[in-house]
Structure 1
Amino acid sequence: MTPRAQETTGAAAAAGGTPAGGAPAGGAPATVRFNPFGAEFRRDPYPLYRRMREAQPVHRTMGMWVLTRHADVQGVLRDRTFSAGLIPRLVSRRAAQLTRADVDRVVRLGEKSLVFTDNPDHARLRGLVNRVFTGPEVAALRPRVAEIAGDLVRRAVAAGGMDAVADLAAPLPVTVMCDWMALPADLRARVGPWTHDIRFLLEPGLMRAGDLEHVCDVVEAFARALDEVVAERRARPGDDLISRLLAARTAGGDALTPEELIFVCVMCFVAGNETTKSLLGNGLLALLRHPDQAARLHRSPELAGGAVAEALRYDSPLQMTKRVATRDVEVDGRRIRAGDQVLLCLGAANRDPAVFDRPDEFDITRATKAHLAFGHGMHGCLGGLLAEMQAQVAFECLFGATTRVEARTDQLEWQDHSSIVRGLRQLPVTLHAANTAAPR
């Protein structure tokens, strides 16, 4: 689909949706209308997902195939003949329409990002970055994450409450990543706004006139700032993430180029911050709406790991991802042709009753290893372990330092700057302090 066609179908959906298939035959289920841009879908997409799974689990609408069942979504994610390179192609086409000359960096950022590369580039980059993003490396960050989260929680408890999004979910992942990279103080204040602006590259079809030009400026500023940091670490390496990426080598001696390293750092923020923030907000909201589960966590903060895993399944931060078929393939009897776009509804797959018992219930003691919130296969989320650990520590701190967490309003507003990430704009809560301080 061309960028213009993508914008057209997106606008059509926003105006009221398009039928997700033809008229039903005989006693077949009624046609389901899939509109991921509507306010009702943003408020609660899961009733529509359920109807789609039951009536038309594999159907064509808005110029693409939409998959909602766990088996189908997982099958495409693990099939390496489905390409993840759609977004860079769309960005490149949009960039070619600009009159300015300095668009190459934005194009290369898309082409060289782990999220969007196919093999052999993906295997090479992943092999290098995986040497740094390991379980032990992430575990070593836990004391600092606990210190940051503990400080945020203590301030909130002392104040009697907070906006859990602005005061905990948003600052935690940005601060942790800045610390891991050991970024200088003057750069840290700019990273958050830059990251928010660059997010448009993940959904180029949503960019308005002028957005890409602004993104080009931001990417250049971010890259230049990191150039200076990388040069300093090359001269004086330490134990930080950038130094470790500089030192990463394959058995054959291959290493990241200077620009590849910068792109990895940029995408650590772009791909990680928004989803981790949404995981924390969505997870806390689920606990507030299920007071029996929240009470369990207050009594036993060690259940925080299970609460995070269930939050990932129950209300996934990343709701959708796209692939492009590179060959003709059949899914549930439907022929997907080479070149067809496929929208994988991760949020729908994670509520599939064929895989999860009582899928619409929130249960922090359930086994949730099969969830697809972090994707699956070779494009499985690089920062999944870090996101889980941060959310677990935050819940341990929050529920260990309080006897009760209460929502101040049931009038919630969901963000609308992304069609693939589900997260709250704000979540004001009242906190009732426990006798003990938040754990470190």
Structure 2
Amino acid sequence: MNTSAMGLVDSAMARLFLPDNRPDPYTPAGELRAAGPVHRTPLGLHLLTRYADCAAVLQNTAWSHADEAAQLHPSVAAEHAAEEMPTSFLWMDPPDHTRLRTLVSKAFVPNMVTRLRPRIAALAESLVDQALAEGEFDLIQLIGYPLPLTIVCELVGIPAALHADVQRWSQDLARGFDPDPLMTPESHEARSTAAREFMAYVRELIDERKTDPKDDLLSALSAVEDRGDVLTETELLSTCVTTVVAGHETTVNLVGSGLLALMRDPDQLALLRERPELIPAAVDELLRFEPPVQLTTRSATKPMTVAGHDFEPGDGVVVLINSGNRDETVFADPDRLDVTRYHDRTNPPPRHLAFSLGIHYCLGAPLALLEMEILLEVLLRKVSVLEPLTDTPPYKPNLVVRGLAALPTRFQA
């Protein structure tokens, strides 16, 4: 690579990682993709930019997800990782990943999620009615957080009085997924504090459930832990915290970024009004277009070659989801929002990477899809005018779990 090309790659890499560019990570991602399939990052990991390579790594269990804490969070001592970064099975490989994921998956199987439909619909109706009554409001705080946060807390068994605390803890933990060098000392401390406080609170709830079980995930998992044969206390606590954080932080970003994308594209919004049967396909397209999780990491467990680059055991890669989802060799006109893209189920484009692929495919995907589909249905039925009140809404500084900090919006019936 000549000096000029190296300069372009360095510039794009900086813009990709720096917080000031959160509104548009896709331009530097596209520049990196055009420059080549593999680039070394300032973190020492190699970044994969193209769909085929990203998908291949995500689906290959020889690429481990167990080293992300060590790769991105060296400030967290290994012996305290579970307490400082409660990620449970997210950062595990089989057999532990299989064991823990199987326990939690019972709460997210399709028939269980379907049972939640009436509750989600009633909550979506109430939130949209409140937004219409206010007229102008912050969509993130009025709808984006309350919808998925309420549902996942009810699913797990966290009372409404604690939802504000859970939201604060979850925001600090989601920020903490970013690489340590990109975080401020205050963010480091907030992550540690949130982990300690959240796990301490869940420990109290679990103690309550052991004497007074309810019909919720906490009761089910604490009963398993009581047997002492499948689940340790640390695994139980981190699994509950992970389920809550992952069960709503990403959906908040889908709601915010997805609705902003639709409001910025009136033709696509009008098409959804005319053809509401497109709503499920539109949600998939919004996930491709604005993935709530922008990247993930993997490490090689044996010698492997990806995109012509040789990797040795222990070598790490960054799977750049936002780039793979806009790979022009895979998706026609990838920078254009097209709510019909996934509608033809007989010949759909390749699956987007927003939920990952392989054994780490998002456990909460059915719930996130249902929440967004129901919200869109309610909005399109009740709201005739949806428009942002600013062209430049603020974004959180988060690199990995990217989303809007606020979205001033106007609704009109």
TM-score normalised by length of structure 2:
0.88
What fraction of aligned residue pairs are identical, expressed as a percent? 38
Q: Which residue of 2 aligns with 1:71?
A: 52
Distance in 2 of aligned mates of 1:83 and 1:220: 27
Per-residue CA deviation, residues 78-119 of structure 1 (Å, 9 max, x unaligned), is 1212221233336885244xxxxxx96653564761111122
Distance in 1 of aligned mates of 2:405 and 2:87: 31
Whether the 8 Å CA contact 1:298–1:402 is kept in 2: the answer is no
Q: CA RMSD in A?
A: 2.8
Distance in 1 of aligned mates of 2:56 and 2:270: 37
Per-residue CA deviation, residues 123-165 of structure 1 (Å, 9 max, x unaligned), is 2212222233211111111111111111110011122232211
Q: Which residue of 2 aligns with 1:197?
A: 172
Q: Which residue of 2 aligns with 1:237?
A: 213
Q: Which residue of 2 aligns with 1:371?
A: 352
Distance in 1 of aligned mates of 2:46 and 2:324: 15
Amino acid at match of 1:215: R
Aligned length: 402
Distance in 1 of aligned mates of 2:83 and 2:94: 16
Amino acid at match of 2:281: G
Is 1:183 the counterpart of 2:158 in the alignment? yes
Q: Which residue of 2 aligns with 1:224?
A: 200
Distance in 2 of aligned mates of 1:411 and 1:41: 12
Distance in 2 of aligned mates of 1:305 and 1:61: 36
Q: Secondary structure at the match of 2:409?
A: strand
Distance in 2 of aligned mates of 1:80 and 1:209: 35
Distance in 2 of aligned mates of 1:92 and 1:57: 25
Q: Which residue of 2 aligns with 1:173?
A: 148
Q: Which residue of 2 aligns with 1:415?
A: 396
- 1:38: Cα distance to partner? 3.4
Distance in 1 of aligned mates of 2:7 and 2:51: 20
Distance in 2 of aligned mates of 1:320 and 1:194: 22
Q: Which residue of 1 aligns with 2:325?
A: 350
Name which of 238, 244, 251 aligns with 1:263: 238
Distance in 1 of aligned mates of 2:407 and 2:210: 42
Distance in 2 of aligned mates of 1:30 and 1:132: 47
Shift in CA distance, 134/105, structure 1 to aligned 2, threshold 3 Å: farther
Distance in 2 of aligned mates of 1:115 and 1:208: 24
Is 1:279 the counterpart of 2:268 in the alignment? no
* Equivalence map 1:84-233=2 (5 Å): 84-89=65-70, 93-96=74-77, 106-108=81-83, 110=85, 113-205=88-180, 206-209=182-185, 211-233=187-209
Name which of 36, 41, 44 aligns with 1:61: 41
More deviation, 53-62/207-216: 207-216
Distance in 2 of aligned mates of 1:170 and 1:342: 32
Amino acid at match of 2:410: T
Distance in 2 of aligned mates of 1:204 and 1:53: 22
- 1:226: Cα distance to partner? 1.5
Whether the 8 Å CA contact 1:112–1:260 is kept in 2: the answer is no
More deviation, 39-48/393-402: 39-48
Shift in CA distance, 226/31, structure 1 to aligned 2, threshold 3 Å: closer
Q: Which residue of 2 aligns with 1:427?
A: 407
Distance in 1 of aligned mates of 2:4 and 2:160: 60
- 1:347: Cα distance to partner? 0.8
Whether the 8 Å CA contact 1:313–1:373 is kept in 2: the answer is yes
Distance in 2 of aligned mates of 1:288 and 1:365: 17
Distance in 1 of aligned mates of 2:312 and 2:291: 29
Amino acid at match of 1:375: S
Is 1:339 the counterpart of 2:314 in the alignment? yes
Shift in CA distance, 427/135, structure 1 to aligned 2, threshold 3 Å: same
TM-score normalised by length of structure 1:
0.83
More deviation, 160-169/63-72: 160-169
More deviation, 213-222/291-300: 213-222
Amino acid at match of 1:326: T
Distance in 1 of aligned mates of 2:107 and 2:314: 35
Q: Secondary structure at the match of 1:72?
A: helix
Distance in 1 of aligned mates of 2:263 and 2:186: 40
Distance in 1 of aligned mates of 2:311 and 2:73: 25
Distance in 1 of aligned mates of 2:138 and 2:86: 37
Q: Secondary structure at the match of 1:429?
A: strand
Q: Which residue of 1 aligns with 2:296?
A: 321
